[in-house]
Structure 1
């Protein structure tokens, strides 16, 4: 279907833009998903944590799965069931609500670890908390 091809092209565009920009720039995280109508997210840091909040209206908890792809990428997957029981899809005049499968990769501002991560889902809002990866600052220089 044409829309699926467009979604794939936009996802590839988002990945290419992100790979060419400096770490921490949020342009792809804002522009790409907004163009595709995906879930909207907020990402912020507090002390030793990175927090992600995603709006998933109309989605039930069992339809959502999350996975830390690498220390700076969270993947949110949704498998949304259709709202109708008919054998054929209705002839929509306007269709903007998410139905079917969706995947969103969220680029994080710091490297995180999955150990001790928590996730909650209340009133259509997914909140995920990760501990930042502890890194020593500076370099130990041996004394001769």
Structure 2
């Protein structure tokens, strides 16, 4: 089970993972929210809209049946297979989300995924 507190080293580890993946030839293994990924022809945007986080990704040449989404509450992993392409991307979300609230749609090559934002962690008084 993941700890819901903010990880002060999360950005550093994401950057190290991204650099290591680039050296190994795996493009875009870890991206910050809002970064473009999947190469030059694809764009990924993430929006925090009050109680909702919304991700929009362009996936040209991909069929809906070739898309696999996984979320751990702070990162969305998008894997997509097409006839001539394979995309794998991890996008860090701007807020902790309830991964079970996910709703996804795919129309004309555009993937849209929405999540409900989780309440911040509660403080615990020590007596």
Does TM-score exceed 0.5, indicating one fold? yes
Q: Hey, which bits of structure 1, 4+ residues long, moved more than 6 A?
A: none
Which of 91, 96, 106 aligns to 1:111? It is 96
Query: Max radius of gyration: which structure?
Result: 1
For normalisation by structure 2, the TM-score amounts to 0.67
Q: Is the CA contact (8 Å cut-off) linking 1:38 and 1:102 kept in structure 2?
A: no
TM-score (normalizing by structure 1): 0.60
1:136 is displaced (CA, Å) by: 4.7
Q: Please give the root-mean-square deviation of Cα atoms over the aligned residues, in Å.
A: 2.9
**Where do 5+ consecutive residues of structure 1 fail to align?**
19-24, 82-98
Structure 2 equivalent of residue 7 of structure 1: 25
Q: Is the 8 Å Cα contact of residues 66 and 77 (structure 1) preserved in structure 2?
A: yes
Q: Is 1:76 the equivalent of 2:61?
A: no
* Structure-2 separation of matches of 1:63 and 1:113: 24
Q: Does the 8 Å CA contact 2:33/2:45 hold for their aligned counterparts?
A: no
Aligned to 1:50: 53
Do the aligned partners of 1:48 and 1:132 also contact (CA within 8 Å) in 2?
A: yes
Where do 5+ consecutive residues of structure 2 fail to align? Answer: 1-21
**Larger fraction in helix:** 1
Aligned length, in residue pairs: 106
Query: In proportion to residue count, which structure has more strand?
Result: 2
